[in-house]
Each structure stands twice: as structure tokens, then as C-alpha cells.
Chains A and B, each alone.
Chain A
Amino acid sequence: MKPPRFAYHDPRSLDEALALLAEHGDDGKALAGGQSLVPLLNFRLAQPEHLIDLNRIGALAGITRRAGRLHIGTMTRQSTLEHSALVRDGWPLLTEALTYVAHAQIRNRGTVGGSVAHADPAAELPVAFNALDARFRVASRRGERTVAAADFFVTHLTTALEADEALVEIEVPPTPAGTGHAFTEYARRHGDFALGGAAALVTVDESGTCTRAALALLAAGPTPARAPEAERALVGAGVDAQAATEAAARATAEIHPTGDIHGSGEYRRDLVEVMVRRAIELANERAVSTREAGRSANGASGG
């Protein structure tokens, strides 16, 4: 359980890090919080010749809101995101998702960008970012590009990042007024990898009619996929128990989770369906109550 030898680099700037990534290509690996990579090294499932540690690049960490959009530096610790009031107020789906991420000691070290770049389909943050239509800013010596969440996750542990590229920042658009959120998950023990889960955002108008929905599935396939058909089916009416049940069935009709010792593929499919239904119901409940709170606040100021 000891890692293989590697040449260690601890660049102090992004430019320096990108130069190292360009130089070492497939022989190099960026090290963020290390909460997934170091176990892989300890098991010798990964054996990079060069490890490029991003932890000493202070400029890569930080949470800001600019023009209404949330900007999260790739090296922001998960615990920092979890305790950010800015995030809790504007993007509470992220706060709720983080309560399911491993344990406090792991979140103290684990980074937001590391979780995204690792792209484990059972990881919570990629699912939440996908539901939020986040965009990932990626840099290399060749330049910068921005990749939508839908295009970023290619398959199990594989992203659109090229060997010389680093994820630099995650940008999350604001959610419309009247939006409720929910993140649901089931794991054998709290903090274990999820057997199934879902992220939901439901937006309702003053009358309670759903005007927009976003659903992303956790541990349901090789990537944190959205469920566009089910999202469309929710729009145009109030979300009642039947609508939530039907949308959950539609969202999971085509998924084929892999079975393992903790549950067969069929069990996991059914589990994800239940998690999606509960996420829709809770998100809708929260959306309706924000509208009600808005009405009573207006009533009070008008009277």
C-alpha cells in the first residue's frame, strides 16, 4: 500500500503548471486534493511518472459571484464550498450535495475541481454541476476553452480534458426565481459511494405551474447524465405525485447501472428511480414554498 516512485513538481503559478503538463503529456498527472488519486497511487492502479501538484497555486482557489454567476476556483476545498454562505443562498443544491460527499476529513482536503476532473459517476459534485448547467473553464499552453457540463463527462473516469489541459474554474449560472432544489442519495453507509441518487431543480410560476426542470442522475451510468425527456414532461402543469412518479420512470427507463456485490443492476435502476421521484417531489415542494414566502412578503410590504 505504498505509492510507486514519481518525480514531484510543485509549481507556484498556473503558467508553470501548464508548462509541466505540456512537457510531460500522458506521463504526467495533475494532483489536486488527492482524495481519489492518492488511493489509486497507493493501490498502484495509477503509476504516473510525473506528479504535478497544484496545491501551492493559491490563485486557483476561491469562490466569487460575478454578474450573477458563481465562479469556483478548481482548487477550492470541498469544505470551503460546503460552508460558503454565498453558495448556500444562491446555489443550495451544491450545499446539499456536499453533505453526501465522503466525510469531513476528506472534504477538508478534497477539491471541487478534483472531483469534477476525476469524473466518478458515483460522485455527487459532477451530478449537481450538470443539473445546474455549469460550464468548466479549461486551460493549456495552447489557450483556454470553456466546456459545458454535458460535453465534459465522456465516460467512467474520463473527461474531455486533454493530457496538457487543466480544469481552472467552474462557472455556475444563477437559477430563476421560484426554483426549488433537492439532492437525494442512498449509500450502504453515510459517506460511502452512492448506490444511486439524483439532483433535481424545479422552477414554478406564481400559480404553481412548473416552468422549468433539471434532473441529473447519480451512479446510474458511465456519466452523470441528464434526463431531458423527463424534464420536458414536468413542464406545463403543477407537479403532483403522479407527475413525479411518471417523470422518474421516464428518467430511468433507459439506464443500465452495473450490478456489483452491493446490488444488482436491476436493483440499482429501481433505486435511482425512487431517488429521482423523491428529488422531484422535494424540489417542487421547496419551489412552491419560495413562491408562497414571496407572496406573503409582498403582502406584508403592501399592507
Chain B
Amino acid sequence: MERAVADDERRRVEVEINGESYSADVETRLLLSDFIRHEAGLTGTHVGCEHGVCGACTVQLDGEPVRSCLLFAVQAHGRSLRTVEGMTDGLADGELHPLQQAFHEKHGLQCGFCTPGFLMSLEPLLLDERELSDREIREALAGNLCRCTGYQNIVEAVKLARERVREPAETPPSP
């Protein structure tokens, strides 16, 4: 029979995710990826390899992309997280974040399983003021695996989204 969970193997965890507070009593061994999906109910964060290789579970911890399968939920206690769900906060129903819209238009996804991880890894590039070469964009996405599309259209999507965010069109396109 499995032994009971000892007191020092459990913790109360409070985490802010996309500006909302979530708390739960969890085992200390609970991975952050599982906390996000099963305790917070935010299933946009996908779990692929669970050993840090595929990048599907990438989230932003205090603004920096990290693997949520290589962190324990207790380590995120008191910290602030952003997941793919946060990208459309404040937007009208059905409206997409500029990076999501660009992925859609440039066919940067097929099955979509890896997409939330890509979006979390690449979103910071939209705020990067520097000119970025294709190589730099490819380095930024090198930690995420996609088995459907290849990466060319994802690079194109990043470039399109950067153009739109950095230099908003002076006149909106006619309907």
C-alpha cells in the first residue's frame, strides 16, 4: 500500500496567473505544469515530454519564458506567471493577440499542440526594440519543437507580428 503523504511533503501554494490569484494545498513534488492544468484549470499550457526538451509547457515566470515541467509548483509560490490564456486578456471575444493573429495568417501551426509554448517563448520578441535577424528569431524558437509545420512559417509569423506591433499602420485597412 502506498504510504501517506508526510507533512513536509505538502505545501500551500499561492500563485498569480495572468493577474488572477490561485491557491491550493499540493504535494511538493507537483510540477508547475500540472498545477497550471489541474489546480488552476488552465489547460492551454500543454505537456509534451516532461523533461525539458520539447518546450510545449513553456510559460512566463515573472516575464521570462521557462519550462513549467522543470519547476515545482512550490517554487512559484508568491511569483507571477503568464500562460497562453493571458494573451487575449482585455481583447474582444474572438479577437487574437497580434502574435496569434500572425501565426494564423502565416500558417504557423497545423495541429496546434506546440503552439502555446511557441507563443510564450516568442512573445517577448515583440517588445524587443532591436532589429532582429532571421537567425536571432530562429535561436529564440530553437527551444520549442514543432512536428507539423517546420519552422519557416513561424519565423514569418514573428516578423509579421513585430512589424505590426512596432509600426502600427497609420491608416487602418478598409473593411
Contact = CB atoms under 8 A, between A and B. Distances in A.
Interface of A: 1-10, 34-35, 38-39, 41-43, 51, 53, 55, 79, 102-106, 108-109, 190-191
B29 A6 contact: yes
Contacts of B50: 1-2, 42
Nearest to B58: A105
Contacts of A103: 55, 142-143
7 tightest Cβ-Cβ pairs between the two chains A and B: A103-B143, A8-B28, A1-B50, A39-B51, A7-B8, A38-B70, A108-B64
Contacts of B64: 79, 108-109
Interface stretch (B71-79, B86-94, B102-110, B126-134): B71-79
Contact of A108 (B29, B49, B55, B66): B66
A191 B6 contact: no
A104 B64 CA distance: 10
Nearest to A50: B8
Contacts of A190: 139, 142
Interface string B7-32: 01101000000000000000111010
Contact of B55 (A43, A105, A109): A105
A105 B142 CA distance: 10
A2 B33 CA distance: 11
Contacts of A8: 8-9, 11, 28, 72, 74
21 contacts: A1-B50, A5-B9, A6-B29, A7-B6, A8-B8, A9-B8, A34-B75, A38-B69, A42-B51, A42-B69, A53-B74, A53-B75, A55-B75, A102-B143, A103-B55, A104-B140, A105-B58, A105-B67, A106-B70, A106-B143, A109-B67
B65 A1 contact: no
A34 B28 contact: no
Contacts of A106: 52, 67, 70, 143
B29 A1 contact: no
Nearest to A3: B29
B5 interface: yes
Given A35-B52, A103-B143, A104-B143, A6 B28 contact: yes
A42 B70 CA distance: 9
A128 to B, nearest CB: 19
Nearest to A79: B64
B129 to A, nearest CB: 15
B70 A34 contact: yes
A108 B65 contact: yes
A105 B121 contact: yes
Given A34-B75, A53-B74, A108-B61, 15 more contacts: A3-B29, A5-B27, A10-B75, A34-B70, A39-B52, A39-B70, A41-B29, A42-B31, A42-B69, A79-B64, A105-B67, A109-B66, A109-B70, A190-B139, A190-B142
A73 to B, nearest CB: 18
A102 B51 CA distance: 13
B67 to A, nearest CB: 6
